[in-house]
Structure 1
Amino acid sequence: MKYLVTGAAGFIGSAVSERLCALGHKVVGIDNLNDYYQVSLKHDRLKRIEHEHFTFIELDLADREGIAGLFAEQKFDRVIHLAAQAGVRYSIDNPMAYADSNLVGHLTILEGCRHHKIQHLVYASSSSVYGLNQKMPFDTADSVDHPISLYAATKKSNELMAHTYSHLYGVPTTGLRFFTVYGPWGRPDMALFKFTNAIIKGDSIDVYNNGDMRRDFTYIDDIVEGIVRIQDVIPEKNIDWTVEQGSPATSSAPYKVYNIGNGSPVKLMDYIESLESSLGIEAKKNFMPMQPGDVYATYADTADLFKATGYKPQVNVREGVQAFVDWYKDYFKV
């Protein structure tokens, strides 16, 4: 089949593109190559996907005419929409960037899917939509009406927009709420990358909420496996579904939302200890209060995704952190 992958120079997008090509699919990847972090890393990710089935086009999601023209010209079968302005903390100081990428950009993709009869749109949501929820594990049947960052609010908005297009136009949509993805070729603004860089340099690392946090860290290969599998599980209409009796993760429209995570939260200090062990260096720790927009813990209930796809994460934190460290040392020659 022919896929559009948005955010193809990104951490997850590049890995998904590479996997789809290896499976024999044709992939057109787009990315605006913005400078939220070093563009050289994005270019190097793209070099990994040098494959006869892969075509890269530099294009901004907010370019309405450009995206419309892309859909008209390329005739995609399916779309995996992973591009977004990422980062909870960055959204505190740069809110407008999230409106352009995450709201306008999501709408241009929905419009392309609507007008060109796309078989299935899979898009990135986020565990951050759970906001003030405290019941663990997070379940897609739970209410997600109280986000605590603009980033989270845009991701919740993406789910609402997708449902509208599924209902009005019959576009099959699946949203995936990602839980703390990490691994080789990861984002430099994520904790593992920042911690590794600081520890190797001998600098201290900022440990928020005095280290009393838990995250459902999920290794990149496990995430890619889940995405590729869910592509083949196309939502269908369910005429018996009602708002009053049904889960908000499904609908009478061809619409579905899943958690995609490891399903096993890890203490932040245990994560740091795994990194120290892999590096053979003890970190200097600067204990800090909780940051605005952060949540104390994330924990995914992935039972629905497992039932639909057989998806079950295979990589534990110690293995995943070691794989990242090995990549980091090789990439940066340290």
Structure 2
Amino acid sequence: MKILVTGAAGFIGYHISKKLLAKGHSVVGLDNINDYYDVGLKLSRLEHLGIGPGDAQIFNKTASSNLFERFRFVRMNLEDRNHLPELFANEKFHVVCNLAAQAGVRYSLENPEAYIDSNIVGFLNILECCRNHNIEHLVYASSSSVYGNSNDVPFKTSQNVDHPISLYAATKKSNELMAYTYSHLYGFRTTGLRFFTVYGPWGRPDMAMFLFTKAILEGKSINVFNNGEMERDFTYIDDIVEGVLRVLKDDYTSSYNISKKYKVYNIGNSNSVKLLNFIHALEKELKRTAKKNMLPLQPGDVLRTWADVSDLVRDYDYTPNTGVQDGIHHFVEWFRNYYKV
């Protein structure tokens, strides 16, 4: 297939693109390479897809690497209403995997406009392009944050998600509603994937895994919010990639009704881990003790996430299962190699 992957220079987008290419698909990767976090890390990811740092600064470039000769990179904002339709018209994608978004819960308190531009206006442009250019299937990233501070755990896709506690979560809930409307009105398939606390090699520097590892190795204190009394369903990146690929290729194993055009799935490890236990596992891997700066709960943070993935098991016979200690080992190994620690 020819697949558009938006957010291709991002953490999940990079891994998805790499796996799709390895499986023989053609990929057009789109990203605006903004400076929300270290641009150098984004450019390094693209280098591993055959796009040199200089090439990533221009409008579009075919990868120079023979290994990834079916990859082309396009630098563009999703909000670009002129060039995005042109891209769809020229490339004639089979499916679209929309992972581009302004990420981060706390940052949404500081810069709300960025979330509306990218996550709402940008997603609308993706939907319009899909309906106008005969896209078979749109797979897009949602988030576990849509569940807010629900006490009904584990989180099921059937439960009410009308109470997001951050603007980021509200935009992801909005994406699901917008996708439903477009599937209903125009008949193309949309599948939303609610990711649960993704971590692993090439991860984002603003995430706990990255922040904690860096601080501990530098002998600095780590900020532990809500005094560590939070729980997260930490999900290793390879498990996320496998789930996304199964959805993209529609490898159904049950009597799923394909005529139902709109679906939403949780992709999580189905195991809620206390933050202090997560830190202890990291300390064990690093063979160092963290200096903990205990702080109150931050605005927008949820107390607990825990995924019910029964729908994913039913329709795709898939359950993420990488243990936290194994996942931490792989991340730390990458971190040490990448930063030469």
**TM-score scaled by structure 1?**
0.94
Mapping 1:1-334, distance limit 5 Å: 1-50=1-50, 51-233=68-250, 254-334=261-341
Determine if contact 1:170/1:253 at 8 Å carries over to the other structure.
no
**TM-score scaled by structure 2?**
0.92
Q: Distance in 1 between matches of 2:249 and 2:39?
A: 32
Report the more deviating stretch, 64-73 or 151-160. Answer: 64-73
Determine if contact 1:163/1:253 at 8 Å carries over to the other structure.
no
Q: Which runs of 5+ in 1 are unaligned?
A: 236-249
Matched letter for residue 314 of structure 1 = N
TM superposition shift of 1:142: 0.2
Q: Distance in 2 between matches of 1:104 and 1:229?
A: 28
Matched letter for residue 107 of structure 2 = Y
Matched letter for residue 130 of structure 1 = Y
1:232-288 Cα deviation digits (max 9, x unpaired) = 2399xxxxxxxxxxxxxx998510000011111111111101111111110000001
TM superposition shift of 1:14: 0.4
Percent of counterpart pairs with the same letter? 62
1:239 equivalent in structure 2? none
Where 1:88 maps in the other structure, the secondary structure is coil
Q: Distance in 1 between matches of 2:48 and 2:73?
A: 12
Matched letter for residue 11 of structure 1 = F
Q: Distance in 2 between matches of 1:164 and 1:111?
A: 12
Where 1:148 maps in the other structure, the secondary structure is coil
Could you list the structure 1 runs, at least 4 aligned residues long, displaced by more than 2 angstroms after superposition.
232-235, 250-253
Q: Distance in 1 between matches of 2:167 and 2:332?
A: 31
Q: Distance in 1 between matches of 2:88 and 2:251?
A: 20
2:64 equivalent in structure 1? none
TM superposition shift of 1:314: 3.0
TM superposition shift of 1:49: 1.7
1:240 equivalent in structure 2? none
Matched letter for residue 319 of structure 1 = D
1:294-316 Cα deviation digits (max 9, x unpaired) = 11100000000111112111310
Q: Distance in 2 between matches of 1:225 and 1:295?
A: 26
Q: Distance in 2 between matches of 1:115 and 1:99?
A: 23
Report the more deviating stretch, 218-227 or 64-73. Answer: 64-73
TM superposition shift of 1:132: 3.0
Report the more deviating stretch, 251-260 or 61-70. Answer: 251-260
Determine if contact 1:106/1:158 at 8 Å carries over to the other structure.
yes
Q: Distance in 1 between matches of 2:169 and 2:243?
A: 22
What CA RMSD, in Å, does the superposition of the two structures yield over aligned residues? 1.5
2:61 equivalent in structure 1? none
Where 1:64 maps in the other structure, the secondary structure is coil
Q: Distance in 1 between matches of 2:188 and 2:146?
A: 23
Determine if contact 1:75/1:116 at 8 Å carries over to the other structure.
yes
Q: Distance in 1 between matches of 2:184 and 2:103?
A: 27
Matched letter for residue 316 of structure 2 = T
Determine if contact 1:172/1:234 at 8 Å carries over to the other structure.
no
Q: Distance in 2 between matches of 1:132 and 1:212?
A: 14
Q: Distance in 1 between matches of 2:149 and 2:288?
A: 36
Q: Distance in 2 between matches of 1:234 and 1:225?
A: 12
Determine if contact 1:233/1:308 at 8 Å carries over to the other structure.
no
Q: Distance in 1 between matches of 2:106 and 2:329?
A: 26
1:198-250 Cα deviation digits (max 9, x unpaired) = 11111100001100111000000000000000112399xxxxxxxxxxxxxx9
Q: Distance in 2 between matches of 1:175 and 1:39?
A: 27
Name the CA shift for 1:322/1:269 in 2 (closer, same or farther; >3 Å). same
Where 2:318 maps in the other structure, the secondary structure is coil
1:112-149 Cα deviation digits (max 9, x unpaired) = 11011111100000000001311100000000000000
Q: Distance in 2 between matches of 1:130 and 1:251?
A: 26
Report the more deviating stretch, 309-318 or 86-95. Answer: 309-318
1:147-183 Cα deviation digits (max 9, x unpaired) = 0000000000000000110000012000000000000
